[in-house]
Structure 1
Amino acid sequence: MLFKDAYGGTPLHWAAFKGDLDAVGFLLSISRSTIFEKDHRGYFPIHIASKADNVKVIKMLVERWHEPEELLTTEGRNILHVAAMNRSDNVVRYILATPELRKLLNERDINGDTPLHLAAGYCHPGVVLSLTRQKGINLNYLNNEMLTPFDVYCKYKDIAFFEEMKLQNGITFCALSSAGCEQSLDLNTHKEKRIVTMLPNPAKIQWMKDQVGALLTAGTLVATGTFTAGFALPGGYNSPDNNPDKGTATMINNHMFQLFMICNTASFYCSIICILCCSYALLGDVYPAVKALRLAGKLFGVALPMMSLAFMAALHVVTGKLSWLASLILIMGTISLVILFTDSIISLAPLDWNLPLVRSVSYCICRLLVFVFLREYDAEPPAYLSEKSGSKNKKKKSKKKKSKDKVEKESSSKNMNEKSKDMDEKDE
């Protein structure tokens, strides 16, 4: 029962990791003391189950030991800390839904980090959404470095900005800001110094240039299409022969035609300004280029839905006499516009307003995005949270390697001496 592997794990550790309820129940029936056995990382079996997102195993272990808050790792982390840093959203929801375990919500580890600090630092948007929706959570606790959860996220964002985890970072930002998380005064005080000392990453600059080129091409296409549609009006123009309204559009009094003109004009000017911002983004200075690129992306997010809406209105104008076709066009256009406007709202709407309605809307949108796009993603621990542990692990590994090398050298030298003695005896 107390046999341990090379990592210090007992059979109960492995059963908790695999989620085998029969094995866990059998091992606990033989000896309940295995609950209090740690592995080399300082994890109890309940921490392993929390890391593996095995809720049923945690329920079984909690039934045998009703005070899991006393089971802490060597870093002072409870099961909610471990679940938050390992994206175990099911375990987080179970803990928050259990009144006896809800007291773990604002507990701190050795570094002063709460579960929300770890979820924000590791950039797990699903866990952040679950934690911030819970009543009684302190959103602006300061850890030992005087950083709030939003500060921890900002430090991670500086490392992972413009990388493949951009959507993950954006959802985490919306979840934190809409919940009311704030930056500490200490981080705001040194913000300018930190920005000045930051050196641009060549890989990120190249990624930004590629994005600018893509936006420039797309904005030019939208501007060209809307410019052409502005003169090729549906229904044409009134003929100049004995007509007081010569040169004007024939469908000028149609409401859908008026919607077409408004949306087409808005799309054209947004795309033009987007192209202008892209030209500013090609400047040598990195930080104005980043701001111009963000503005260009928002303008393009407006231009594209406006152009789609103008296209739908124009088709409805020319097919107005055929009711079933006009209705079908409206249905198809409405579905596509809902998708486009949802994407635009996510990038443009002020989801960081701390208002109940906006919080509910942003929570639903972010939860939907997590379910659709981020059900399976790999998230390495950020430098802020893994720097210390990584350096310690490297030191330990180097020490272990040195000790192993010494043992191997000594054993090899002994073997050589023994072989030489045997050879000498044979020669004699």
Structure 2
Amino acid sequence: MDVKVSIGEEQQDPAKVYAAGKNLADVIKGANVEDIISKIETLACQADSSAVFNFRRLSRGSLLHIAAATRNSNILRLLLDRVDAYLIAAQDDWGNTPLHIATKAKAFGVVAMLIRHARDLPDVDDKNWILRMKNNHGNTALHEAVLIRDVDLVSHLLHENSELVYLANADQKSPLYLAIDPRDPQIFQVLFSPSLDPSRIEGLPPVHGAVAYSLGKILRKDTKLFAMRDSGGGNVFHLAAFWNVPERLVRTLLKTVSAETPDRFLVNPEARDKEYRGRILPGPANLEEAINTLLMVATLVTTVTFAAGFAVPGGLNSSDTASKDDRGVATMLGNRKFQEFVICNTFAMFCSMTSVVVFMLAYLAEVHLKLFNFKLALGLLGMSLQAMSYAFLIGVNLTVGKLPYFVHHDINYRIYFHLHHHRFFILVGR
């Protein structure tokens, strides 16, 4: 609704009107009713005081905005008797009406008085027009009441007009969506107690927000809400299936999907699909099957490398040919390539053995830990396979290195183990 501008405000000197309005605003901020009455009576004696009373360009809006912030209904009543009737709809720089300001200040009496005054205006067909007005964030007074978690104000505004629960703000959130907060179940009870029509709810479906908060509460209240769909045609079960989780992990995953806010994936499903196109989250059944397969591979690698640690290339010194101190010692102990074989084989054995343990933990863990353990064990198994391959090449070179073919090509294997990157590099030189 458009606000009518006082003719007197346009005719008088703007500087004088601003000075007088600011002076009265300072008095109102003091919240002393006697001082305000005295100031108003003084202004009333002037030739045209309406321009001052209806001045709307103060730093905090109009005088009604300032009066609403004092939470004193007596002060507001003094001004309502003197200002233009439609000044009640004036908006400040943030789009707030006096009703928004009173709601944010938790001024129950001021809120009730503003609503009554708006309904008593002549030539107004919609008696709830003031309740439907939105600020720059798209919030109605009910939105603001839910945000400040004031149960009494929420109940009062809902009683004044139950249709307010369906209106969405600039973030596509209705009061019903904002009410989904486990920290304040009372507001949830107030807003979801009346029978709701899901087809009238604007913006984000409250049940999608409940995926992160109170899914069970809405299920017990009204199952029809689960039929609501987002702009992409998906319902809450599509959303849960997209993240491929059990119900108890939905809240955790919804918060971690986006570093900014999970709501943007509900507002714009196309952005969600684009960002996660091609991303495959392994299901519990497939993941467990992969764990079982790789666990068997890791066990075999552990067995082979363990055995190779004792059946070393070249064998061991026997008791018949070796001295007492050298009995049971590897015959190639002084060979540098043999030492490289031992290092690689030992590393492969410990990595594979550790991966076996981690794969077992992954099999027993919950879904979010299962995937982490699976990736860790897979990395360990990959390193053990590389190290085992290098150990095999060295072992072959040690045992058959004197064959003419190998002597002719003079193949030398140099293996480096880089501790920082956990990688093996093999350089083949001629």
Q: Smaller-chain TM-score range? A: 0.3 to 0.5
- TM-score, length-scaled by structure 1: 0.38
Q: Which has the larger radius of gyration?
A: 2
- TM-score, length-scaled by structure 2: 0.38
